[in-house]
Structure 1
Amino acid sequence: MEKLDSIIFYNIDKAIRAYRNYAQRQLRENGFNITIDQWLIIKALLENPEITQNEIGNLVFKDNASVTRIIELLVKSGFITRKVHPTDRRKTNLSVTKSGKDIIEKVQNLVENNRSVALQNVSRQELKIMNNTLLKIAENCINTKNKS
Structure 2
Amino acid sequence: MEKLNSIIFYNIDKAIRSYRNYAQRQLKANGFTITIDQWLIIKAILENPGITQNEIGDLVFKDNASVTRIIDIMVKSQYVIRKTHTEDRRKTNLEVTESGVKIIKDVQKIVEGNRKKALDNITKEELEIMNNALLKISENCINPKK
Does the alignment reach a TM-score above 0.5?
A: yes
1:109 match:
109
Of stretches 64-73 and 86-95 in structure 1, the one that deviates more from structure 2 is 86-95
- Structure 1: how far apart are the matches of 2:118 and 2:126? 14
How many aligned residue pairs are there?
Answer: 146
Mapping for residues 90-109 of structure 1, pairs under 5 Å: 90-109=90-109
- Structure 1: how far apart are the matches of 2:50 and 2:94? 8
Gaps of 5+ in 1: none
Deviation at 1:53, TM superposition (A): 0.5
Deviation digits for residues 83-134 of structure 1 (CA, Å, limit 9, x no counterpart): 1111112211000000000000000000000000000000000000000000
1:89 match:
89
- Which residue identity does 1:21 align to in structure 2? N
2:118 match:
118
- Which residue identity does 1:2 align to in structure 2? E
- Which residue identity does 1:113 align to in structure 2? G
Deviation digits for residues 3-27 of structure 1 (CA, Å, limit 9, x no counterpart): 0000000000000000000000000
Mapping for residues 8-47 of structure 1, pairs under 5 Å: 8-47=8-47
- Which residue identity does 2:49 align to in structure 1? P
Deviation at 1:33, TM superposition (A): 1.2
Secondary structure at the aligned position of 1:78 is classed as: coil
Q: TM-score scaled by structure 1?
A: 0.97
Secondary structure at the aligned position of 2:86 is classed as: coil
1:6 match:
6
Q: TM-score scaled by structure 2?
A: 0.98
Deviation digits for residues 43-89 of structure 1 (CA, Å, limit 9, x no counterpart): 00000011000000000000000000000000000001001111112
- Structure 1: how far apart are the matches of 2:75 and 2:49? 16
- Give identity over the alignment, percent: 73
